[in-house]
Structure 1
Amino acid sequence: MNPPEGRCGTPPATGSPDRLDKATLKVHLPNGGFNVVKFGDAIDVKGIITLVTSRLATGQRAYQHLYAMRLHHPPTGEVYWLHQDTTMYQVQEKYERKHPHSEWRYELRVRYLPQNLTDLYEKDRVTFYYYYDQVRNDYLCADHAALDQDVAVQLCCLEIRYFFKDMPQIALDKKSNLEYLEREIGLHKFLPRAVLDGMKPKALRKLIQQHFKKVAALSELECMFKFFELLRAHYRFDQERFRCDLGSGWSIPVELVIGPDLGISYMTHRATSPTRMAEFDRIQAIQTLVSDCEVHRKAMVQLRVAGTTETLTITCPSLEVAESLADLIDGYCRLVTQSTTSLWNRKDAHPPKYRQQQQHGVGSRQASGGSGSPETTAAQTGTMLSEDYAEIVDEEGDYSTPATRDYELVRNQVELAEIIGEGQFGDVHKGTFKGRDNQVIPVAVKTCKADADLATAEKFLEEAYIMQQFDHPHIIKLIGVCSESPIWIVMELARLGEMRAYLQSNKHRLDLATLLQYTFQLSTALSYLESKKFVHRDIAARNVLVSAHNCVKLADFGLSRWVEDQSYYKASKGKLPIKWMSPESINFRRFTTASDVWMFGVCMWEILMLGVKPFRGVKNNDVIGKIESGERLALPQNCPPRLYSLMSQCWAYEPSKRPSFKEIREVLNEILMEERHQQQETMRRENRRVQAMSWGSTGSDDPPPPKPARFPIFGAADSTSLASLTGTLSGGGSINNATPAPTTYIVAQNPEVLVQLLRENESRGISPSVYTTPASAFNTLAVDFEKNISASPPSATVATPAPLTSAPSQPSPAVTATP
């Protein structure tokens, strides 16, 4: 088989096994996602549909036969429905002649509808939710110029309630929530563009708030059925209509209407309701024909109906319309009769001249090196069995094989020991890994239960796929995986275990500097993730591991996701850590780096609280109410004010007002440096105090080191003190051997006040040297100076008469005089 044009290089020689390389097909889903399928030419459309639907969720789809494949060319608006028995070779031959492969969009859709949607919900919820997404997307993309604005807002509120089912009923009463919804998510995801352009923003917000109150109490399922009911009255999404003629000669122009409750019906231009022609279960055969006339070429669909002698002929404006109509009727017939066999006979769809032209085109392609028929290709390459199977690569990566291949370990290299924890998928063991040169490394091994299905196993391996992309000293490193059942993820061992438990068991020996060091180390890891455009989504003390007393590492990447710039990750159903989550994550399931910042603020609070969980005693459902009302976690004991200020910034209601992890890292580094400096100063003072105590208590005759001589400044000392100092020096004795005089201070607010105090003391005949008692609140008083002293402030603090030491009662800028 030659490779499809434009996707492979020079084809290998005939008969080479490399000729079986598969082409790639991107299948789009209505929710904006897609699946990438690798296929061979011989696989049919039905096979691709089966494979894609099997990846929507685990298990088989009970309503598998509702799905169809649509081929859409966005530049021109062309749309073709691909019959389930058409091979991909036939699709390429027919449609890639018209437009290049890269311009075509393959879409998986629910086309054949059951009469009862409640039955569909009960038996196949995956398909029901898929169909809801499809109807909603079609409604938003269609032109609804005549749609009543009030109805559109009601539908908008139903969708908001459905998508944000955990949001409090009064959430949109808060103006900031509605503005956030409009700014960060966009009302275009809930309202058609025509409605948004036709309404003033203020009036639209007010109408949304009014209508949301009416649907706020509805459940998810009630919202969906109400949405279907309300939309159906204005937009018949459950019907398809075709303008065609009944008969082949003298024909009657009609609008054919096909749907689950109408069967095959038609409407004339004067009719007000459809007229039923046939039921799906009465159709025995379907055939499409093309006339042989070059000038008036017609395409017809012929239906053989049980109980009638003549075939029902429907003339269509083109062969494409005829094929679409035939595929629709055939699909409904299979659905109603619970059959997998097609009633559409497509062998003689084209007249001989038309088939000769097609064959001539194929022959030309073969002559020029193009693809031949599947049978010819099979003869050239041997068996086609391997081409009958398709491989799907999930949009987030196939985690089971290609992503972790370089990390595959031989199982006998890993030896399990005792269980040290329990994860979502199985137990976590302590163990050893024998690496190169028989070096034994202690490891932690996450295990997946042996009876896990394929989807669970792939979800389990997601964490390994994410971890292998990181290399940071404060992020747990992946060592490897054993991808065969039972699946193991082997990672480095943090010997001191989970941080929350470590904080609680070591609370008496953990000082503030160590706790700040933990927060700083985590901020470096999260700043690294921020640069890699990853959101962690589960930042909490329980997901941090302690490698050493001075080293912590971020772990548990099971919820992590990669997000592009200016985008976000919207979580699907599942348990989430509500008490750690930001308001937009709780209300709208919206996860960004800003929501990670909020969670890190909570994690810092946990660390400073030594492992206490946030919002203790508060139910999960009540957390968002407290946050909405402005309540935040309280200031932890011994928490530096600057650190709590940083936490509060992380808890800003508006995501745009929160700091980035780079900014957080820088601030935490400064706080840590300040705390370490204070620790060193405290230690120096304590050492001096201990030394002083040791000198006085050892009983040694050696005197303590003398204090340096202090000389007066500003000539402020009186004559008595100067004479005393002079007498000491002139007496011939060394200043080091003299008995040290008491050091005394007079403290004032400025030099002028100090001069005034000294003058008063001198006039009273009191020397500063007689102030020997420490100042306190009991021996100080405030004195008002006389008004004629203009240079002095209105008051100052002075001491009572000797022998007390003068000092201010509270710290302020001062000039100090020493005798």
Structure 2
Amino acid sequence: MSRGTRVSSARGYNRRLSADSLDPAETDADTMAAWVGAMDPKEQEKLAQIWSAARQAWRGSMSAEVAEALDRCIASFHTVGGILSFGDLRVTDVLGTGAFATVYKALLPGPAGAPRVVAFKKLGTDNMQAMSVKTLADFECEVDLLRRLDHPNIVAFMGTTVDPLGVVTEFCSRGNLMVMLHNESVALTWARKLSIVTDTARGMCYLHAQRPTILHRDLKSLNILLDEHWNTKVTDFGLSRFKADSIAGNMTGQTGTYHWMAPEVINAEKYDERADVYSFGIILWEVYGRAIPYEGMTPVQIVAAVVARRERLPIPAGAPPQYADLIARCWAHDPAERPQFSEVLGVLEEMLQKHEKSHKLRDRTV
């Protein structure tokens, strides 16, 4: 098997292949992780032992700085506890692949023996030379934040693994919001849409209420998950940071994705939690119209429209006035004109309550 082989799912794996036939130096991490769930239980135990050898082989391709950052990340996991054995995870499917991580659907044994479906985000690529100190630092920060958070609208942290380096969280069966919005087979009522954005606002309100304040910095529909009960969960805290205590220490620099990025972030100016509010304004627009923001536009075109010309997406026809006004306020060019998430949540909860009340009255009169 050549280096760089990819496997999209473990379901197509030949169960007769043994762990001994996998060369640690020639088998990439994603392939090994995807196959472990399909192996015979005895072979799984062998593979867990092989993994350490593979990790050493990959370390040889790292720079000294990256290897040191990896050691710091692993040490931080051990310091706070919550370490899970990779051998206990039974990987079943690949949910998504990014530049420096792959997310898997997996089974984790429960306290009573019954397995629980979880999501496993494994850091690493086939080319470990491409791994940067920043990537490892962002991952360490993400895990550090996740373990601190406890809210029904924030994806739940369940533990970490160190060999390979990864984090285990709750599994959300309905996937991310963007895919859901553009799945024509899924009917979304106005009540459902209101519930989704209200849940998201609750999660963000919780983050911003922490002391120090936690900024998400990459809020977008791709980073909002829905579980089987339609509960919304904010996820992906790789770019999240604690808000600086002093104005002089406010963060600058580009983070996030241009379609959802606030003008002050694009311009690498100082920003605070109101940059997240801007991103949420785009999400409000997405959810109502079930459309892709700035579809067909390049990043350069988006920057020119949003920053230079101060243009915004057209408010969807038929949007309730209160909802349309909230969108416009959230994506205001001047951060000072944007509401805090506590106010955003209050508006959405009021709209949701009015809608539910009107439907109850209508049902009584039918």
TM-score range, shorter chain: 0.7 to 0.9
Equivalent residue, structure 1, for 2:231? 551
Q: Name 1:563's counterpart in structure 2.
A: 243
Contact 1:535 1:591 in 2 (8 A): no
Shift of 1:60: 6.7
- Once residues 351 and 63 of structure 2 are traced to their aligned partners in structure 1, the CA distance between those partners, rounded to angstroms, is 53
Distance 1:657 1:566 in 2: 21
Distance between the aligned counterparts of 2:281 and 2:176, measured in 1? 19
Shift, 1:490, TM fit? 0.9
Q: Give TM-score, length-normalised by structure 2.
A: 0.73
403, 415, 421: which one aligns with 2:90: 415
Q: Deviations over 1:123-159 (max 9, x none)?
A: xxxxxxxxxxxxxxxxxxxxxxxxxxxxxxxxxxxxx
1:645 and 1:454 map into 2 onto residues whose CA distance is: 42
Instruction: Give matches, 1:510-521, under 5 Å.
Output: 510-521=188-199
Q: Is the 8 A contact 1:518 1:551 kept in 2?
A: yes
Separation in structure 1 between the aligned mates of residue 263 and residue 302 of structure 2, nearest angstrom: 9
2:327 aligned residue: 647
Cα displacement (A) at 1:654: 1.3
Within-5 A mapping of 1:610-621: 610=290, 612-621=291-300
How many Å apart are 1:470 and its aligned residue?
0.7
Aligned-residue offset at 1:403: 4.6
Select which of 428, 435, 447 maps to 2:122: 447
TM-score by length of 1: 0.34
- Structure 2: 5+ residue runs without aligned partners? 1-61
Letter paired with 1:503: L
1:525 to 189, 196, 203: 203
Equivalent position to 2:75, from 401, 417, 427: 401
Matches within 5 A, 1:339-418: 398-403=72-77, 405-418=80-93
- Greater Rg over alpha carbons, structure: 1
Distance 2:246 2:294 in 1: 31
Residue 587 of structure 1 pairs with residue 261 of structure 2: no
Judge conservation of contact 2:239–2:256 (CA < 8 Å) in 1. no
Q: Is the 8 A contact 1:417 1:429 kept in 2?
A: yes
What residue in structure 2 maps to residue 670 of structure 1?
350
Question: Do 2:152 and 2:233's aligned partners in 1 also have CA atoms closer than 8 Å?
Answer: yes
| 1:778-793 map, 5 Å | none
How do 1:3-18 and structure 2 match up within 5 A?
Answer: none
Q: 1:399·1:465 contact (CA, 8 Å) conserved in 2?
A: no
Superimposed CA distance per residue, residues 424-473 of structure 1 (whole angstroms, 9 cap, x where no aligned partner): 32321111111333242110111122653573445433321221111000
Supply the AA of the counterpart residue of 2:110.
Answer: G
Q: 1:398 to 1:571 in 2, by over 3 A?
A: farther
Tell me the SS of whatever aligns to 2:148: coil
**Structure 1 equivalent of residue 154 of structure 2:** 475
Q: CA deviation at 1:656?
A: 1.3
CA contact (8 A) 2:77 2:160 kept: no
> Is the 2:180–2:186 Cα contact (8 Å) retained in structure 1?
no
Of Structure 1 and Structure 2, the greater helix share is in 2
What is the rounded CA distance, in whole Å, between the counterparts of 1:565 and 1:653 in structure 2?
24
The answer on 1:466 being equivalent to 2:145 is yes
Code of the residue aligned with 2:197 in structure 1: it is: T
% same residue: 26
**What letter is aligned with 1:528?**
Y
Are the aligned partners of 1:445 and 1:489 in contact in 2 as well (CA < 8 Å)? Answer: yes
Task: Give the one of 168, 176, 182 matched to 1:504.
Answer: 182
Q: Aligned partners of 1:675, 1:514: CA distance in 2, in Å? A: 11
Change in CA separation of 1:651 and 1:507 when aligned onto 2, cut-off 3 Å: farther
Residue 487, structure 1, aligned to residue 169, structure 2: no
- Post-superposition offset of 1:564: 2.5
Hey, what does 1:657 align to over in structure 2? 337
Per-residue CA deviations over 1:627-668 (Å, capped at 9, x if unaligned) read 343421112244211011011111121111111011111111
Number of equivalent positions:
293
Deviation at 1:676, TM superposition (A): 1.6
**Distance in 1 of aligned mates of 2:150 and 2:132:** 29
Match of 1:431, SS? strand
Tell me the secondary structure at the aligned position of residue 75 of structure 2.
Answer: coil
Amino acid at match of 2:92: A
Map 1:320-339 to 2 at 5 A: none
Aligned-partner SS, 2:311 = coil
The 1:659/1:487 distance shift into structure 2, 3 A limit, reads same
**Cα contact 2:73–2:136 (8 A) shared by 1:** no
| Partner of residue 219, structure 2 | 539
Change (3 A) 1:578 1:564: same
CA distance in 2, matches of 1:441, 1:494: 12
Matched residue, 1:300: none
Cα–Cα, structure 1 residues 538 and 576, in superposed 2: closer, same or farther, change >3 Å? closer
Shift of 1:507: 6.2
- CA shift for structure 1 position 406: 1.3
> CA offset at residue 569 of structure 1?
2.0
Distance in 1 separating the partners of 2:310 and 2:358 = 34
- Contact 1:480 1:490 (8 Å CA) reproduced: yes
- Structure 1 position 551, deviation (Å): 1.1
1:116-127 aligned within 5 A: none
CA distance in 1, matches of 2:358, 2:228: 24
Check conservation: 1:426, 1:446, Cα contact below 8 A: yes
SS of aligned partner of 1:400: helix
Deviation per CA, 1:516-538, whole angstroms, max 9, x where unpaired? 11111111110111012111111
In 2 relative to 1, CA 589–440 (structure 1 residues): closer, same or farther, beyond 3 Å? farther
Asked if the contact 2:294/2:302 (under 8 Å) is kept, the reply is yes
Mapped to 2, the partners of 1:477 and 1:583 lie a distance apart of 31
Seen in structure 2, the aligned counterparts of structure 1 residues 519 and 407 have a Cα distance that, compared at 3 Å, is: same
Residue 550 of structure 1: how far off its partner (Å): 3.0
- Work out the CA distance in 2 between the residues paired with 1:538 and 1:591: 13
**After TM superposition, what 4+ stretches of structure 1 lie above 6 angstroms from structure 2?**
none
- 1:447 and 1:402, CA in 2 relative to 1: closer, same or farther beyond 3 A? closer
